[in-house]
């Protein structure tokens, strides 16, 4: 159902883009909009990962890092059945993370220094597993396409006054309404797709790391940190907010039309329900899976990260 909903929303985004083109310049405008969308999406699909990593000043983490971030990512990648992505560190105190890349073979996972300081090894495994789920589900490509569509619709709508065809079809008032409503509709569709994919990645991430409660605990800590600590790079580039595991822009808690992410409380509740269903009983304190045991034996003490 999640994939069906995403497909329907993507089709709605494409239809909206062509509709704006038609209102601006008739059938020729609709065709031109379709061609322009294809060209922009091809460029964004190929270059989006490096563009986004540069926006956030992400630094490549070399193999064999002191925290074992590569080793952890490699183990979880095997569990997920995807190639090991490149690993990046973002020097910001806000705990957060995101994945990017056009496909699983050309993907990257970026975590913040605040995340490394805030989470236990098990919680970090839950976060990385969530991002690997996005990569496996091709969510990074989907969100790149929707963000490109949304941006293109906004640009087209802002030029509406300069197209005589739109004024003839809609009149001045109608043209002004389109300039406001078309970008709003595009943003709503983009946010709805993002919320749908977050729930799916939570579920798949919990299965990859083997313990839903690790991700639930991580989300709780990240939500507190993200609400309290500013992420200046994200504030400068709000179009990338939907990529993070928790919204870095201090949005409201509710699942509403204007939220890039579902409510963190709802996500935590779903993960806890998943943990209960997988066991048949409420989880007991201290219960660990095989992955947890390996991680704990390798990283028994908290260490300073490569940003220090």
Q: Which residues on neighbouring strands pair with residue 141, listed in sequence order?
A: none
Question: For every residue of 7-74, which 3-state class applies, written as one string?
Answer: HHHHHHHHHHHHHHHHHHHHHHHHHHHHHHHHHHHHHHHHHHHHHHHHHCCCEECCCCCCCCHHHHHH
Estimate to the nearest angstrom the gap between the alpha carbon of 43 and the chain centroid: 19
- Bin 148: left if φ > 0, else alpha if -120 < ψ < 50, else beta: alpha
Q: In this structure, is the dihedral angle defined by the CA atoms of residues 240, 241, 243 and 248, taken in order, positive or negative?
A: positive
- Per-residue burial over 246-274, b = 16 or more CB atoms within 10 Å of its CB, e = otherwise: bbbbebeeeeeeebbbbbbebbbebbbeb
Catalytic residue from among 75, 122, 123, 131: 131
Estimate to the nearest angstrom the gap between the alpha carbon of 123 and the chain centroid: 18
CA distances from 91 to 59, 196, 264 (A): 8, 29, 24
Sorted by sequence, the CB contacts under 8 Å of residue 278 that are 6+ apart come out as: 212
Is 131 one of the catalytic residues? Answer: yes
Give the residue numbers annotated as catalytic, written as ranges: 131
């Amino acid at each position: 159902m999640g994939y069906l909903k995403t497909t329907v929303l993507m089709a709605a985004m494409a239809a909206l883009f062509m509709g704006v083109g038609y209102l601006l310049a008739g059938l020729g405008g609709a065709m031109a909009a379709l061609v322009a969308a294809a060209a922009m999406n091809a460029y964004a699909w190929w270059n989006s990962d490096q563009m986004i990593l540069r926006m956030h000043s992400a630094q490549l983490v070399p193999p064999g890092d002191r925290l074992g971030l590569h080793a952890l990512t490699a183990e979880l990648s095997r569990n997920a059945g995807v190639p090991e992505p490149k690993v990046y560190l973002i020097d910001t105190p806000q705990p957060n993370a995101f994945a990017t890349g056009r496909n699983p073979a050309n993907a990257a996972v970026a975590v913040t220094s605040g995340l490394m300081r805030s989470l236990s090894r098990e919680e970090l495994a839950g976060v990385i597993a969530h991002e690997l789920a996005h990569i496996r589900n091709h969510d990074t490509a989907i969100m790149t396409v929707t963000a490109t569509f949304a941006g293109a619709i906004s640009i087209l709508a802002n030029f509406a006054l300069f197209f005589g065809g739109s004024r003839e079809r809609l009149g001045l008032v109608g043209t002004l309404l389109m300039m406001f409503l078309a970008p709003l509709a595009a943003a709503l569709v983009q946010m709805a797709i993002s919320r749908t994919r977050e729930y799916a990645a939570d579920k798949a991430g919990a299965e990859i790391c083997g313990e839903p409660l690790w991700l639930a605990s991580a989300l709780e800590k990240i939500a507190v940190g993200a609400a309290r600590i500013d992420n200046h790079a994200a504030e400068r580039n709000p179009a990338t907010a939907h990529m993070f595991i928790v919204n870095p822009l201090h949005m409201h808690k509710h699942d509403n039309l204007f939220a890039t992410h579902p409510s963190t409380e709802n996500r935590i509740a779903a993960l806890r329900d998943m943990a209960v269903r997988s066991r048949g009983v409420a989880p007991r304190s201290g219960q660990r899976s095989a992955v947890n045991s390996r991680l704990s034996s390798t990283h028994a003490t908290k260490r300073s990260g490569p940003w220090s």
